[in-house]
Structure formats: C-alpha cells, structure tokens
Amino acid sequence: MTTRRILALQDVVNRVPVALEKSDKKVSEYYGSDVFGMDAMREFLSEEAFDSIQNSMHQGTIVERKMADQVAACMKAWAQSKGVTHFTHWFQPLSGATAEKHDGFFEPIAGGRAIERFSGNALVQQEPDASSFPNGGIRNTFEARGYTAWDPTSPAFIWGQTLCIPTIFISYTGESLDFKTPLLKSLHAIDKAATDVCQYFDKNVTKVIATLGWEQEYFLIDSALYNIRYDLQQTGRTLFGHAPAKGQQLEDHYWGSIPERVAAYMRDFEYESHLLGIPVRTRHNEVAPAQFECAPVFEETNLAVDHNLLLMDVMEKVAIRHNFRVLLHEKPYAGVNGSGKHNNWSLATDGGKNLLSPGKTPKTNLQFLTFFVNTVMAVYEHADLLRASIASANNDHRLGANEAPPAIMSVFLGQQLSNVLDDLEKAVHSGKMSPEEKTKLKMNIGRIPDILLDNTDRNRTSPFAFTGNKFEFRAVGSSANCGGPMTVLNAIVAEQLVAFKKEVDSLIDKKVEKDEAIFQVLKKYIIASKRIRFEGNGYGDEWKAEAKKRGLANIATTPGALDAMISKKSLNMFESQGILNHREQEARYEIALETYTKKIQIESRIMADMVNNQIIPAALNYQKTLIENAKGLKDILGAAEFKKAADTQIELIKEISEHVTIIKKAADDMTEARKNANNLDSAKKQAHAYCEKVKPFFETIRYNVDKLENIVDDATWPLPKYREMLYLR
C-alpha cells in the first residue's frame, strides 16, 4: 500500500511556482488603496466630519454621534465602491487571534425589498454575543455580554469583501477583555509621562508617540505535507521527527537566494499587504532551512500592532494559494532555530524627533541620555514582568535554546554607550559641581556621535538590545500579539519617567540647578540598574552563572514566569499608570495559565493519538516483515548459517519491541499524569502539573519515536520527515 506520505511527496515534486500576473504598477500607485485613510476620508467626508475624525485620531477624543453617522455613511459609500458587502468590528480578544463577525450592509424593508445601510451606531459600538472568549472570570455568564467600540486611531480597511473596523473589546462593567485596550492606555500613559519630561529640554513638545517596527520570522511548508501532519495542524509544531543530516550547520540558508516558489509567495502577500497599507519592505531567508523573515517600516505602535496581526492573517491566507502553509509557531521544528518577532521600539515627539537617537548638541544628548537611562532603569525594575509578557508554551522552546535570548532579562548597550554611562557615573557627584566640572561633563556628552549605528556592535544574543536609535526586544515570540509586551514596555517606562520627573523636580525645589539635578538622578539610576547590563554572550553557560551571582531571575518555563504578572509591584505599576486594575490583571494571569495548560494538554493528546494510530502500527508492521523474513531464512538455511544471516534482523526486531514498549508505557503514564493534573483545583496548580508532570513524557516518547523513524522502512513511515518538510525548492 502506498502511504499518504509517499502520495504527498509526489505532489510536492510536481509543484511549480504560482505565476503572478505581472503588474507594471508601482507600489506607490496602489499602496493603502484598501484603507479608509486620509485620501479616502478627504474624498468621502465633509470638512466638518474630516476635522472631527482627525481630532479624535490625534487627541484621542470621542467622535460625536452625529459625526459618526456621517462617517459611517461615507465609509459605506467608499467600501461599496470597492465591492464590499459586509462589515465587521475587528478586535483582539485574549485568545491571541483576531476576531471578526461579519454583518451584511443590507436590511430588509417593506415590500420584500432591501436597502444597504450602515449607521453611526453600528460603526461606533457593537454588542457581539462574544461570551466564549477568554475572560478570566470577569464576565459571569449572566453578564456575559461584552462590547466592541471603535478605535478611530487605527483606520478601517477592506479585507476580502468585508469592511473591517478596528475596535477595543470590553466587558459591560468596563473591564478590558482584549490586548488593544491596555495598549492604548499604555500609549496614553507614556505620551503623558514622556511629554512632561521633554519639557526640561524642549517646551514645544506636546505629544510623544511610541514607535514599533516588528520583524516577523516564519517557516513555510508544502501544504501536502502539512495536511498529513496532525501535530502541525493542531499544535503548530512537529512533536516528532528525526533531525535531518543537513540542518542549518552550513549556514547556507541565511540571506541565501530565495527559492522561486517562495519568492512568488512573498511578492503576493506583500502586494496584499501594501493594498492594506502595511509597509512591509524587507524580506530574506532566515537561519533555519525553510525559514524566512519580513519586516516593515516602523509605525506608531497601535497601528504597527494592528498591522502585524493583519499581516499574519494575510500571510496565512495567501500561503494557501501557493500550496504552502505558513508556520508562525515559535518552534515548529526541534534542532533548528525557532522564530521570533523582534520588537524595535522607540519614542518620537510630535516634532519628529526620535528621543532614543543621540543629537548634535549637549542639550539634545542630555535628553537622549535621559530617555535612554530611564528605559534601562525601567527594564531593571520590571525585568520579571517583561519576561512574563513574552511567556508562552510555544516560546518556552525557543528562549534559551541557543538561538534566541535566554529567559534571563538583560540589556545590551554597546561599548560606546556603556562607556558614556560609566563616565557619567564617575563625573557626577552629589555635592555641588564646579562650573568647570559641569562644562567638562557637557562637553563629554556633546561628543556622543549622533549616528551610533555603525559603531554599535550588534549583539544578537541579548533579549533587549540598544541598536543605535531604538531598543530591540528580541524575546517576543513569532506568533505573539506584540500588544502584550508593548503594553508592558510602555507602562514601565511611563512609570519610570514619572518617578524621574518627581525626583528631578524635588531637587530643583531644593535649588539644585536643572541640568545638575538631571545628572544626579541619572547617575543614581545608572548605579542602581547596573546589574541588568550585559555586553557578553547571552547564549553561553557563563552568563547563566554570572546572572545567578547578580541575582537576576532565570525562569525557564511559563507557569513560573507568569507569577510576575500579579506581584504587588506589577499590579501597582499597572494601576498607577491607569492601564489595568488589579482585577483585570489577575484575570489576565488566569487566562495565561489556562492557555498554557490547554496547549500542553492538546500536545499531549495529539502525541498519544499519533503514537497509537500511526507510529506503533507502522513499527509493528515493519517488525512483522522482519519476522517473516527471519522465519523464511530459517526454513532455507541450516542452523549455523541462519544465526549468521539473521543476527541483524533479530536485533532489529528486538530493538523495535523495546522502543514500542517504552513509547506505549510513557504514553499511558502521560495520560494518567494528565488525569491527575485535571483534578487539581487551581489554574496555577494545573499549569505547574502540566509543565512538570505531563510535559517531561514528551521527551521520552519523542526520543524513541525518532529512533523508530530511523529503523522503519522509509516507504512505509507514515509521517513526513524533517528532510522532506524543511526542503523547499
């Protein structure tokens, strides 16, 4: 019998790149044409409505109801001119994926006819019966309703034949049930805190935005192979698979020539992205075979987060046209690199100044150092919370696996800036500085070159690295909603800037001159946050030992890492910044634990299914062939000759039995461990049991299955192999 795998491989052999209609249009001619952006607004809105919307976009004010009616009517007219029939509120529940429920524009009217309608009410607010999204106990079923509310700061767009309106998702009692609401609040908090601090340097600053440029890593696999790997389908990763002889050792894939089929796919999803105004610009092969990356030009953080979520959806849908499946999981394959989503983050003023970019004068450099040191200090203060913000069952496989930053949070600054901070620490003293000392200090600061990019040694092993004019948070997982970690980062930096301002002001009140006061507080932070700075190799074991000495946490798995979400310090920080109250944050903690448990539970179940339905039968089948063969040899050979001829086969027969026995026992014990875990009475206990009692079986089972893969006849092995899945033409 031909196995499904062999049939699938035949499909793969016959694949050709999908030919794209060659368009001679430049990107600039169609960029953003499916977005209800400035151009569409100007064309379709009255001047009054246009101004009102602009206002709420910039100041975050609420759009008046009567304007909303007008905007809705115009949006509908615009969307209909592009063949759109439905609309949806597009939101980000805590399940991680985006959510949408499409409603038609048409409404039946008297006489059996219908008209198309879209009211301001429908635009501004909806009450989806969305009671099945994770809510961590915030919404008891009797008050199960939540509602979605328009976020005018992220423009509506058309995807398929549906007008999508970015919205927040909150409970009837006002608690946030999504990623977007706290993100928007954190952006507001950092705007306020950073604008206040900017007043020390530049009175013209009235607004500060956080900017985000993500880099999205992903794998591609031929859909024929994906379709017969149940583990990939249900868990996003391969639970079995022997390492291929050629993985990434030769480092020949990274930035290599992009395979034609893949290039066709990239062009296609980039085209779709550009219609949606997602500024993807960079593409390349990544380190692991069949791994790739794309990156956009950075944008305001809320928009960048929406764009990343939308992009992931676009990538998945477009992949199917090309007979690919895109794998966004953090670790689809063992033994080769996993995928991350580097979050490049900075702060910019309404005057267009990047606050994390050194300037040309001592004054602008002092401003730069202020934001720079405060960010380092914030990461120092809340390293554990930052770690928790990127914790997931998937990301556990990646962090610390010699390919991604370890679970220890540290900050990399580069030699040049490390020196600047060291100098500052020495030069400033708490007593009054002489005019000469001050001049010297300012001159030194003035010497920070405005372009550090070329000088900054790139440290790829740090979770949080300064890269010349921004920080790069490299520990974020590839499938994550960047909104989670970005909310934390904005929030902790906001809190830190508020504290900074308070300290500086109190010194100024004591008649310390402003610059000197700033210097003194910065010096204090430089000293306090030293432990978090690390310039060396983050992948090495020496760092683990060193970090331990420094007292930095190294929590390898999610259930433990999540504790930081509900520490007093974290709860107070979120509350003081007006981002999440205790109840909301505790609910998030519960959801994160439950999600972890469910993921491991699903992996464990699918593992047992595949072992019982696919692996053991294949092994026993092959064993049967060996047994029959040995019996046949016995029939035709004398005893002495038989022993010589059948030795290897008998060894193999025994080896198969041994592996099968171990696998079966481990799978049964694992089921038992699952039952025990399910009976525990708290989400925390369950998550720990799944992590510590269930997951360890994965390794035993996998090890033995992978051995069998190497023994059993290639023609009858049921699962696509690594060497097949990781090879793309």
Give the residues lining the site for ligand ADP (CB under 6 A).
211-213, 215, 295-298, 344-346, 354, 467, 469-470
Give the HSE-up count for residue 379: Cα atoms under 13 Å, Cβ half-sphere. Answer: 27
- CA–chain centroid gap for 226, Å, is 22
How near is the Cβ of 349 to ligand ADP at its closest, in Å? 12
In whole angstroms, how close is the CB of 475 to ligand ADP at the nearest point? 15
Residue closer to ligand ADP by CB (options 300, 692) is 300
Q: How far is the CB of 94 from ligand ADP (least distance, A)?
A: 25
In 3D space, the residue among 409, 556, 399, 584 whose CA is nearest the CA of residue 477 turns out to be: 399
Q: Is 142 exposed, middle or buried (0-12, 13-18, 19+ CB in 10 A)?
A: exposed
Could you tell me the smallest distance in angstroms from the CB atom of residue 417 to ligand ADP?
Answer: 16
Pick between residue 345 and residue 371 the one whose CB is nearest to ligand ADP. Answer: 345
Q: Which is nearer to ligand ADP, 211 or 238 (CB)?
A: 211
Number of residue whose CB is nearest ligand ADP: 213
Closest to ligand ADP by CB, 126 vs 346, is 346
Q: With contact defined as beta carbons under 8 Å apart, do 469 and 415 qualify?
A: no
- Shortest Å distance, C-beta 297 to ligand ADP: 5
**688, amino acid identity:** H
Closest alpha carbon to 347 in 339, 337, 338, 357 = 357
Q: How far is the CB of 358 from ligand ADP (least distance, A)?
A: 13
The residues, any chain, with a CB within 8 Å of residue 417's CB and separated by 6 or more, are 372, 448, 452, 456, 466
Cβ atoms within 10 Å, residue 22? 5
Nearer residue to ligand ADP within complex by CB, 354 or 700: 354
SS3 state of residue 85: coil
Least distance from ligand ADP to the Cβ atom of residue 342, Å: 7
Where does residue 157 rank: exposed (0-12), middle (13-18), buried (19+ CB within 10 A)?
Answer: buried
Taking the complex as a whole, the smallest distance from the CB of residue 359 to ligand ADP amounts, in Å, to 14
Q: For residues 29 and 267, what is the distance between their CA atoms, to the nearest angstrom?
A: 16
- Cβ neighbors of 635 (< 8 A, separation 6 or more) are none
Instruction: Specify the residue, 120 or 277, whose C-beta has the smaller distance to ligand ADP.
Output: 277
With respect to ligand ADP, which residue has the nearer C-beta, 281 or 438? 281
For ligand ADP, the closer CB: 16 or 297:
297
288/593 with CB nearer ligand ADP: 288
Closest CA to 478 of 236, 257, 299: 236
If the CB atoms of residues 63 and 295 are measured against ligand ADP, the closer one turns out to be: 295
Query: For residues 463 and 406, is the Cβ–Cβ distance under 8 A?
Result: yes
In this structure, is the dihedral angle defined by the CA atoms of residues 246, 250, 255 and 258, taken in order, positive or negative? Answer: negative
Q: Which residues contact 636 (CB under 8 A, 6 or more apart)?
A: none
Sign of CA dihedral 248, 254, 258, 262: positive
Name which of 365, 349, 378 is nearest 416 in CA terms.
Answer: 365
Q: How far is the CB of 336 from ligand ADP (least distance, A)?
A: 20
State the nearest-atom distance from the C-beta of 218 to ligand ADP, in Å.
15
Q: How far is the CB of 647 from ligand ADP (least distance, A)?
A: 56
Comparing CB distances to ligand ADP, the nearer of 133 and 298 is: 298
Which of 480, 565 has the CB closer to ligand ADP?
Answer: 480
Residue 491 CA to residue 494 CA, distance in Å, equals 5
Within a 13 Å sphere around the CA of 49, how many CA atoms are in the beta-carbon half?
A: 20
- Compute the distance between CA of residue 92 and CA of residue 95 in angstroms, rounded to an integer: 8
Min. distance of Cβ 298 from ligand ADP in angstroms?
Answer: 3
Q: Which residues contact residue 212 at a Cβ distance below 8 angstroms, ignoring those fewer than 6 apart?
A: 298, 299, 300, 301, 304, 305, 343, 344, 345, 482, 486
Rounded to a whole number of angstroms, the minimum distance from the CB of residue 153 to ligand ADP is 17
Three-state DSSP state, 240: coil
Which pair of tokens denotes residue 186?
A: 């954190």
d(CA 518, CA 505): 9
How far, in Å, are 389, 407, 596, 609, 689 from residue 558 at the CA level?
A: 10, 10, 8, 25, 12
Q: 254 or 727, CB closer to ligand ADP?
A: 254
φ, ψ at 595 (rounded to 5°): -60, -45
Those residues with Cβ within 8 angstroms of residue 367's Cβ, 6 or more apart along the chain or in another chain: 198, 200, 201, 202, 355, 359
Closest distance to ligand ADP from the beta carbon of 280 (Å): 9
Q: Which is nearer to ligand ADP, 156 or 482 (CB)?
A: 482
Residue 214 or 543 with smaller CB distance to ligand ADP: 214
Taking a C-beta distance cutoff of 8 angstroms, is the pair 525, 419 a contact? no
CB of 688 to ligand ADP, least distance (A): 37
